[in-house]
Amino acid sequence: MLFKRERGGIKMKHSLWGNRNFVTFFSANALSNLGNWFDFVAVLILFRYTWQADPLLIALIPVMYAIPSILLGQFAGVFADRKDKLKILVYSDWIRGVLTLVLVFTPFPISCTGVNFPEEYGGGDQSTCPAGTGKEDASFLLSGVILLFIRPKEQEANEQKEKQGEDVGFWTSWKEGWSFVLKSRILTASLLYGIVTTLTIQMIDAQFVTLFSEVFPERAELTGWVISAIGIGSLLVVLALNKLDGIKKYGWFFGTASLLIGVMTGGFGFLNASTFLFVVIGLALLGGIGNGLAFTAVNYLIQKEPPKEAIGRVSGIVDSTLSLLFIIGPLLGGLFIHQFGVAAAFKIIGFSLVGVGSVGIVFQNLIWRRSIPHANEPVKSREVQVNSNA
């Protein structure tokens, strides 16, 4: 028997962890993301602590990560709606694993430390790249193997075959995806709010290593610890909300997420060499909780608000739009830090995020007002009822 209750705008139902396919997908996705973070953190530490890179150069790192999503995200969403999503997930993980493995044999210094670099530029640490890429490669390949154990329901498989047989133009599908977003007040408001929040966050996201290299110059490992603490905070929130079945108040999620991330960012701006380690980790955990709330809300939003047949397109639109900010934000952040200094930049951006989050919480009924029926609810239910009475 299912148990439901409502509290704080959230409707609780049975746990998703009872769904074997969900657990399998969640495990594979976690491994894949682990590979991504191994790569990103290693590159940040390498550039700042080993090569003493300028904040503007560090700002270019997330830009390079974002370009593929910006250029191909929306088209990938259309492609995913028309093809077998499970196969796409498996093949993409395997391709990333192979490409990561290739880095072991790449002689370029940006890919591997010390292959063609003298010792004064970090050439002595020749084991960094093979070890790092080995972890990333294993994560991607294992993720692809785990995904093979997902067994789609027969009804969903038949629907996929029917969709593949439909002759719908690529550009028509793309325009339909944007139509779903713009016609939904919830999707449009969430996208606009996400743009403001993401732009602010991206201004300092890659600059943690710059801040810590100035405050704690002898603690290169601290960047990894902080990012791990953020990940733990996010994971705790996801586990705590594993029974989530519906969101009525998006403002509590998006607003609180921005507020907590702002507290973390602003708090980092006040760090000094005498700050206790538990304070740094505590702030990171708060930011991770905020990140987990945003992650949960975005995933629910994409899965529940658009029609089922448009989920891939809407997801691609959201990803590519926000990824565009991964170029603008870091560049603005690099210039901002150059102008005001890294500590002042963290304080200003932190206070801005707290303000944005507070606005989202206080004015959530205005920002996320539902103007049309839910996308997954029958729109013509009243019309059917009238016809039946006739």
Q: Which residue ranges make up each domain of the chain?
A: 11-374
- Tokens linked to 123: 């050439």
Question: Which pLDDT belongs to residue 308?
Answer: 75
CA pair distance 312, 268, nearest whole angstrom: 37
- Residue whose entry in the numeric block shows the structure tokens 């902080």: 226
CATH (residue range 11-374): 1.20.1250.20
Task: Write b or e for each residue in 366-380: b if 16 or more Cβ atoms lie within 10 A of its Cβ, otherwise e.
Answer: ebbeeeeeebeeeee
Question: Which pLDDT belongs to residue 268?
Answer: 95
* Cβ neighbours for 36, distance < 8 A, ≥ 6 positions apart: 136
- Tokens linked to 381: 């239910």
Order of strands, sheet of 10-12, starting from the edge strand that comes earlier in the sequence: 5-7, 10-12, 244-247
CA pair distance 310, 82, nearest whole angstrom: 10
Question: Which pLDDT belongs to residue 3?
Answer: 35
CA pair distance 337, 322, nearest whole angstrom: 22
Cite the DSSP H helix spans in the chain: 20-45, 55-82, 85-102, 128-147, 154-165, 170-183, 185-205, 208-215, 222-240, 250-268, 277-304, 311-340, 342-362, 364-367, 381-389
CA pair distance 112, 95, nearest whole angstrom: 20
> In this predicted model, what pLDDT tens digit does every residue of 223-260 receive, in sequence order?
888 988 988 888 888 878 766 667 778 889 999 999 99
**Regions of the chain where pLDDT drops below 50:** 1-13, 108-137, 140, 155-157, 160-167, 375, 377-390
Question: Which pLDDT belongs to residue 350?
Answer: 94
Question: Which pLDDT belongs to residue 73?
Answer: 65
Of 28, 192, 149, the residue nearest 94 (C-alpha)? 28
Question: Which pLDDT belongs to residue 167?
Answer: 47
Question: Which pLDDT belongs to residue 97?
Answer: 65
CA pair distance 160, 179, nearest whole angstrom: 22
302-307 own/partner pairs: CB under 8 Å, 24+ apart: 304/246, 304/247, 304/374, 304/375, 304/376, 305/184, 305/186, 305/187, 305/374, 305/375, 305/376, 306/180, 306/181, 306/184, 306/187, 306/375, 307/180, 307/375, 307/376
